[in-house]
Structure 1
Amino acid sequence: MWESEATRESLPEQERWTEPEIDSAEERYEASSPPRRRRRGVWVMLGGVVVLVIGGSGAAYLGQDEDSKPARSAKKLPTAGVVRTDLIDTTEVDGTLGYTSGSAVLAEGAGRLTWLPRVGDVIERGDRVYAMDGHSVPLFYGSTPFWRDLKTGMSDGRDVLELERNLLALGYGDYLSVDEEFTSATADAVKDWQEDLGVKESGVVAPGDVVMRAGKLRVSEVEAQLGAPAKGPVLTGGSTRQRITVDLPVTDLEMAKVGAKVTVKLPGDESATGRISSIGKVAAAGKTNSKSQTGQGTENATIPIYVALEKNSGAEKLDGSPVTVGFTSAEHKDVLAVPVNALLASANGTYQVKVVNAAGKVRTVPVKLGLFEADMVEVKGDLSAGMKVQVPRS
């Protein structure tokens, strides 16, 4: 508040307030202006760009919205590449790994059993399958079993051919002519073989002197006992080839094609590959899902699928083991894919990914999803191979 004229006159001269002298129009304007205050600005959104207008100065600050700014958080998030690849959708079904079913080995001698193999033993051509009265009964390869005595003067036949093939494969009869005729050369080869076996060198081979099989024999069960008469079933033997049996629902039968490649999960987190070797022809009724029903139901019927493992699968010692087989149900080639955790879900059920360019700018791209495989998913949208998409930190 200004003091009155009287009061001002009563004050000493050095304490009186006097009007400052104004030399120019500019100084006169400044003197009449109110005290200065800190300037305030107004933020305005123009076309997706944030503008800060500072009153009186004409100055402005330009910002950017989320989809165009090189956001600090976007730079800190890791990224993964959009890749072009092949994706395969698989359906996994449990199965059992084992060996092909075998058949009984019959003894046809007049003596007693003096040696038997163990379950799991693999018997090859020339090896003994069992022993009778201290003498080995070896394995021969062939499709025609011996059904008569093979000796000089007999009629020609395929059983003679099988005998000569095995003798030659075991190193007997260097000059033997392999055919269906039993000659003196055949008899000589037989005698040499009998000498090494430690049996009478008669030159005659009886039906019970050998066990005939198509190939190697794997012992799956021993039925006879030592000392028992060498008559009837001795053991059960099958092929050394492993195979997987899968009871596949008939509703999924379109996935199974003979020769098709499959993936196999073995015990111990090991994996292998195999191929479908054959498909069963007889379906088995499955159990019903309803608690109110009992017995079998056609709605869950299955059909056996047989899978042969690739060589060197590392599963040779596994027999009767549970496995999981992956059948290819769909395959998409040459598609774009991103990691599954790059997907952003919207409330309306759609998906997007955040694409980051070389300058660090981020934009949202809507995508449609295709096949899933492991941690990758097929995507369709405004994308190309080599782009970078944001992924959350692991």
Structure 2
Amino acid sequence: MQKFIEKAHYVLMLPSLIITMVLVNQSDKFFIFIGQLTGWLSYIFAAIIVLNSFQRKLLVYLLFFLVISTKFLSILSGSSSMETIYIICQNTLFCIAGTVVAFLKPDMMYKQIMVFCLLNVVFMLLQITGLGGKPIMIFTTHGEGYVAPEMTLFKEEENLNYLLIQGRPAGLTQANIILSLIIIFAIAIHFSRQHHVFRWGTILLSLLITLSMAKMAYLGFIICSLIILIYGQFFQKIRILMATGFIFIFILIYSLLFPGLAAVNLSKETIDASIFLRANDIMFALNPEYLSVESKPFFEGTSYFYGGEEGEFVSGIASAVTKVYNNLALFITGLVILFLLYLTGFRKLKSKFPSIKLKIITVLVVISIFPVTHPIWPFQIYWFFLGYGLLPFYSYIHPRFINNQICRES
């Protein structure tokens, strides 16, 4: 019991973030209250993790104070600028905590994310088939929301009342697009992993990708595959090739069991809509006058998002562009500088911990592309995941959690 208490902040960090993310996005006030409660607990867990990992504790206390104070000030003032500052402070805290947990407790994080993926597969099967009934949709907020699912087994498209909550199930999360974030993170850490890999993990993730029918999950897998095939070791390449084979097999089985769902989800129209909704969104953000003048998609003959509130976008990249549009050149210059610093830090870190270089690259690239699909910026769990990919930046400040690891390995 004492050992659990000593490491409880590590063990409960990821679960608290998942629970918070799911519950605060519900319409039921009780769920929202529980989500807010676990949200504040996740702040405490993150603060303890960061506090124990850095020698300059005053800066950690200052960061935690800024998170709390800017949150209350944003609520009291209703200022969007204060809300932005709060989000930046919050994201910084969880990003650092994610780095520490991933660096010090990689096995624990791997086990937690894989168990959560396994639970999601069970829920998704019940949601897709309709066998779970309405209660199995209790956390679903996308598409049709909390409604009774249809029976979909062996139903052709013309006989099927297609529901997005079944065609694109959310599992234990609130929306399919959020589930895809967890899937691509699991993909990145599983296929880049060298030792102590779950043998059933490759089959599980292949099935999860197929059942989700999330285009981001497929894109994340493709990008991860390319990185592994170029930079990975032989056994990692074999693992990714096996997964590719399993995905093709599962898609075939999916098409046989759910012909109606497959006909919609795998159609050219659906895939094109998923791509061009985001592509048009980003182009509208880069050309703000275009939509009001032309009132048509930037890419002729494609789907586009129009009719939402001002400043509302499908893509997170589009929403970010609007924030920095007036200083876009300065923003891009800053990104280039950060990239060069990152490369230098990566070389330093690679020389000390060569075994983690592939995981850093994979997580950074796969997680970094996610905002193309969704404005994920305020979600703490996104920055927690991204933390591992940003590990090279810490080579400049030599924090305690890295120095201690160097001492143990030297």
TM class, shorter-chain normalised?
A: under 0.3
Q: Rg bigger for which structure?
A: 1
TM-score after normalising by structure 2:
0.17
Question: Per chain length, whose mean CA-contact separation is higher, i.e. which structure has more relative contact order (CA < 8 Å, sep 6+)?
Answer: 1
Q: If each structure's strand is expressed as a fraction of its own residues, which one has the higher value? A: 1
Q: If each structure's helix is expressed as a fraction of its own residues, which one has the higher value? A: 2
